[in-house]
């Protein structure tokens, strides 16, 4: 395998989850040292132990001050952070009239504000030549009932990627997004919408975490040096169908 990330460090939120860990594995295989963030420290540490040279930290990614402290700690242990991948996400399944203000705050905090905070932090500290990838969702384009906060936050994430790409150019930083479709993860398998038949998937519509990881590795790498401000759909062509 080509070592596109030799000597570089990548920080991944949601790094102990299915997609986050697949990205961490792919980047490690290509020479990166990775920092895995997860809400639960034991999960972060256990995931990091599976990868050579990795570090794991437990942190609430919606807590800007806590993330800043972890970012600084990671830099102290591993040197400059060259790449950031924001994967952490959360869904609930409620009709709009059932969603409380605290639900909105929590979901927008994890799915959008955490990425905004981390982008601000990285833009002040990341060396030129660095890159960021936001993991969005096809729900930003086409969605279903009972996932309003998640879909809205992911749409906002796509917009943030465009703005960040413009501001990042002067710093020598690139920002792109990935919008996975249905990916074989616990979040998909436990979806009440799928179990209730509100969302129907054909087997061909379901991809693997490794599919997202391959796209992330490309967008983070220097091979994508002329790509910024884009959100790449990784959905097996699901949204292309009429």
| Structure tokens, 61 | 């990614």
Q: What DSSP letter does each residue of the chain carry, written as one string?
A: ---TTTT-EEEEETTTSHHHHHHHHHHHHTT-EEEEEESSHHHHHHHHTTSTT-EEEE--TT-HHHHHHHHHHHHHHH----EEEE---------GGG--HHHHHHHHIIIIIHHHHHHHHHHHHPPTT-EEEEE--GGGTS--TT-HHHHHHHHHHHHHHHHHHHHHHTTT-EEEEEEE-EESSHHHHT-HHHHTTSS---GGGEE-HHHHHHHHHHHHSGGGTT--S-EEEESTTGGG--
Tell the residue number behind the tokens 């710093």, with chain if given.
171
Active site residue 134: no
CA dihedral 160, 163, 169, 172 (to 10 degrees): -20
* Catalytic annotation, pick one of 71, 117, 134, 150: 150
Q: Which residues are catalytic?
A: 150
């Amino acid at each position: 395998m080509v070592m596109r990330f030799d000597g570089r460090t990548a920080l991944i939120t949601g790094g102990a989850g299915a997609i986050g860990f697949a990205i961490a594995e792919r980047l490690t295989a290509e020479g990166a040292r990775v920092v895995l963030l997860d809400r639960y420290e034991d999960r972060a540490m256990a995931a990091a132990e599976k990868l050579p040279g990795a570090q794991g930290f437990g942190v609430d990614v919606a807590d800007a001050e806590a993330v800043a402290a972890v970012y600084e700690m990671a830099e102290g242990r591993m040197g400059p952070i060259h790449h950031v991948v924001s994967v952490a996400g959360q869904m609930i399944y409620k009709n709009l009239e059932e969603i409380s203000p605290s639900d909105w705050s929590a979901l927008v905090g994890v799915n959008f504000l955490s990425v905004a905070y981390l982008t601000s932090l990285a833009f002040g500290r990341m060396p030129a030549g660095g890159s960021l990838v936001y993991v969005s969702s096809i729900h930003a384009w086409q969605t279903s009932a009972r996932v309003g906060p998640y879909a809205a936050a992911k749409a906002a994430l796509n917009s943030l990627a465009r703005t960040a790409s413009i501001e990042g150019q002067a710093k020598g930083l690139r920002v792109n997004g990935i919008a996975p479709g249905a990916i074989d993860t616990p979040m998909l398998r436990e979806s009440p919408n799928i179990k209730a038949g509100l969302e129907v998937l054909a087997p061909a519509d379901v991809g693997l975490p490794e599919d997202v990881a391959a796209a992330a590795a490309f967008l983070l790498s220097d091979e994508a040096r002329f790509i910024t401000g884009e959100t790449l759909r990784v959905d097996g062509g699901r949204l292309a169908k009429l």
